[in-house]
């Protein structure tokens, strides 16, 4: 099967959606399918052979964060060319409600099309306002996937229709087989995420650190991610700052080793999460997980059976839970065993088969492959809010 996948976000700035698309593409290629991924990317030299750049992205506020997206006449032209050259049996667009390559592709293509919805935002005024613009594209999508029940609910409440829930996938064995790193063992708490993005919750974890250290002075907090390190710890007293180790951006291999090594992985996110891929990665590495009780996180952690939960943005509750767990090796071991068992449902062997089943259902029902509509050229400028001179 020839599969075209559209990534809405900048490939040069790693995130959960990009990782999901990368791993999906490589899983499908491993099964013998031909896959091409279209994505915004400035540095074309480092792209995998199956990835095609649609040019540079620009920063756009989206879903409580800042996303780097590609949208406009030039992007539309590149989408048309990619679709025409690809001759795909099926088109899979991700996050088509964002102002991105995905909506451009959905507007212009006809034929078998699947969309994955990642966003969970129960009060998205932007999505409601954009509904009339989005509907012509969404009506062409024959198969809808939501990465969680909360992403599905956002779709249903804002745009109508429904979706099958298929979670993000993870290569469980990659994390499970990673070697522990002695630098990161011994009373360590791990955090992975963008340091200066408030919704990733690092300020809550840092606010909890003094209480954790009062009970466990030997604890070290290991922070992996991009951002202003000095600004992040500016509010901490000097004696606490020295217990925080910033690792910077880490490779996938380093991340796997980190998750295998820490005593406790903490995800203090404050909102805007529809899934929680880092939780699945941590569970795959058999890490004991402590996470804020966001609905999506609770679902990923099997209601708290595969990892413990604390109240969102409650630093005192985080500190109390962390100290209790660090003082209870037997409970940490229980969580690791529960995580290793629960995470099997997120392995690509399962997730990939479910996605392929959607592809096959859609192609069997439609027959013809995706094409570029020949009458779309004159409609681009109108849809993008431009007029002819």
The rounded mean pLDDT for the chain is: 88
192 & 314 share domain? yes
Instruction: Provide the residue range defining the domain that includes 134.
Output: 2-169+347-381
Same domain, 202 and 336: yes
- What's the pLDDT band for 127 if we cut at 50, 70, 90? low
Whether 331 and 195 map to the same domain: the answer is yes
- Of the two residues 137 and 5, the one the predictor is more confident about is 5
For the segment 281-340, what is each residue's pLDDT rounded down to a tens digit?
999 999 999 999 998 899 999 999 999 999 999 999 999 999 999 999 999 999 999 999
Q: Hey, what are 238's tokens? A: 């000097």
Are 69 and 216 part of one and the same domain? no
In a domain, 386, yes or no: no
Residue 137 or residue 250, greater confidence: 250
Say how far apart CA 375 and CA 373 lie, in whole Å: 5
Residue 180: give its domain's CATH number: 3.40.50.2000
- Per the domain annotation, does 126 fall within a domain? yes
Q: pLDDT, tens digit, for every residue of 59-84? A: 665 555 556 666 667 888 899 999 99
Do 297 and 265 meet the contact criterion of CB atoms below 8 Å apart?
Answer: no
Whether residue 292 is found in the same domain as residue 333: yes
pLDDT band at 385 (very low <50, low <70, confident <90, very high): very low
Q: What's the rounded Cα separation, in Å, for the pair 321 and 269?
A: 16
Same structural domain for residues 154 and 26?
yes
User: Per-residue pLDDT averaged across 353-371, rounded?
Assistant: 83
**What string of H, E and C letters represents the secondary structure of the chain?**
CEEEEECCECCCCCCHHHHHHHHHHHHHHHCCCEEEEEECCCCHHHCCCCEEECCCCEEEEECCEEEEECCCHHHHHHHHHHHHHHCCCEEEEECCCCCCHHHHHHHHEECCEEEEECCCCCCCHHHHHHHHHHHHHHCCCCEEEECCHHHHHHHHHHHCCCCEECCCCECHHHHHCCCCCHHHCCCEEEEECCCCCHHHCHHHHHHHHHHHHHHCCCCEEEEECCCCHHHHCCCCCHHHHCCEEEEECCCHHHHHHHHHHCCEEEECCCCCCCCCHHHHHHHHCCCCEEEECCHHHHHHCHHHCCCEEECCCCHHHHHHHHHHHHCCHHHHHHHHHHHHHHHHHHEHHHHHHHHHHHHHHHHHHHCCCCEECCCCHHHHHHHCCCCCC
356 CB-contact burial (10 Å; exposed 0-12 / middle 13-18 / buried 19+) = middle
Range with the poorest average pLDDT among 103-112, 215-224, 280-289, 333-342: 103-112
Residue 257 domain-assigned (yes or no): yes
Residue 364 belongs to some domain of the structure: yes
Please check whether residue 387 lies inside any domain of the structure.
Answer: no
Judge if 336 and 357 occupy the same domain. Answer: no
Say what angle helices 125-138 and 149-159 make with each other, to 10 degrees. 80
- Residue 280 structure tokens: 């699945």
Separation of alpha carbons 373 and 39, rounded Å:
21
Q: How far apart are CA 123 and CA 128, in angstroms?
A: 9
Count of domains forming the chain: 2
Please tell me the pTM assigned to this model: 0.81
Task: Return the structure tokens found at 222.
Answer: 């290991």
* Pairing relationship of beta strands 371-372 and 109-110 according to DSSP bridges: antiparallel
The pair of three-digit structure tokens given for residue 326, joined into one six-digit string = 């660090």
Q: Are residues 339 and 210 in the same domain?
A: yes
What was the pLDDT predicted at 384? 43
**Where does the pLDDT of residue 178 fall: very low under 50, low under 70, confident under 90, or very high at 90 and above?**
very high
The verdict on residue 242 lying in a domain is: yes
Statement to judge: residues 180 and 139 lie in one domain: no
Q: Is residue 388 part of a domain?
A: no
Q: What is the pLDDT of residues 140-169, one digit of tens each?
A: 999 999 998 888 988 888 777 889 999 999
- Same domain (yes/no): 249, 259: yes
Same domain, 28 and 91: yes
> Is the domain of 316 the same as that of 182?
yes
> Would residue 271 count as lying in a domain?
yes
């Amino acid at each position: 099967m020839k599969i075209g996948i559209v990534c809405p976000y900048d490939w040069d700035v790693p995130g959960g959606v990009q990782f999901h698309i990368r791993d999906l593409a490589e899983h499908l290629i491993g099964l013998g399918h031909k896959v091409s991924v279209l994505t915004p990317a400035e540095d074309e030299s480092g792209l995998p052979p199956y990835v095609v750049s649609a040019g540079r992205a620009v920063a756009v506020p989206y879903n409580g964060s800042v996303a780097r997206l590609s949208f406009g006449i030039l992007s539309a032209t590149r989408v048309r060319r990619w679709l025409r050259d690809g001759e795909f049996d099926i088109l899979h667009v991700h996050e088509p409600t964002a102002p991105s390559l995905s909506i451009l592709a959905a507007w212009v293509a006809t034929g078998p099309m699947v969309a994955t919805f990642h966003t969970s935002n129960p009060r998205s005024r932007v999505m409601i306002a954009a509904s009339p613009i989005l509907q012509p594209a969404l009506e062409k999508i024959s198969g809808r996937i939501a990465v969680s029940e909360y992403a599905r609910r956002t779709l249903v409440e804002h745009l109508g229709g429904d979706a099958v829930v298929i979670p993000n996938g993870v290569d469980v064995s990659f994390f499970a087989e990673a070697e522990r790193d002695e630098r990161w063992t011994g009373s360590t708490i791990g955090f992975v995420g963008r340091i200066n993005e408030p919704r990733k919750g690092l300020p809550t974890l840092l606010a909890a650190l003094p209480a954790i250290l009062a009970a466990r002075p030997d604890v070290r907090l290991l922070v992996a991610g991009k951002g202003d390190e000095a600004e992040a710890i500016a509010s901490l007293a000097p004696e606490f700052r020295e217990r925080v180790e910033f690792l910077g951006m880490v490779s996938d291999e380093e991340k796997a080793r980190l998750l295998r090594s820490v005593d406790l992985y903490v995800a203090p996110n404050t909102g805007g999460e529809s899934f929680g891929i880092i939780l699945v990665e941590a569970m795959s590495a058999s890490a004991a997980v402590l996470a804020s009780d966001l609905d999506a996180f609770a679902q990923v952690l099997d209601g708290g059976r595969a990892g413990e939960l604390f109240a969102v943005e409650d630093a005192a509750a985080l500190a109390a839970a962390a100290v209790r767990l660090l003082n209870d090796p037997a409970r940490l071991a229980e969580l690791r065993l529960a995580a290793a068992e629960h995470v099997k449902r997120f392995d690509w062997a399962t997730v990939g088969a479910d996605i392929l089943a959607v592809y096959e259902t859609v192609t069997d029902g439609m027959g013809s492959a995706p094409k570029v509509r020949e009458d779309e050229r004159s409609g681009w400028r109108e849809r993008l809010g431009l007029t002819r001179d």
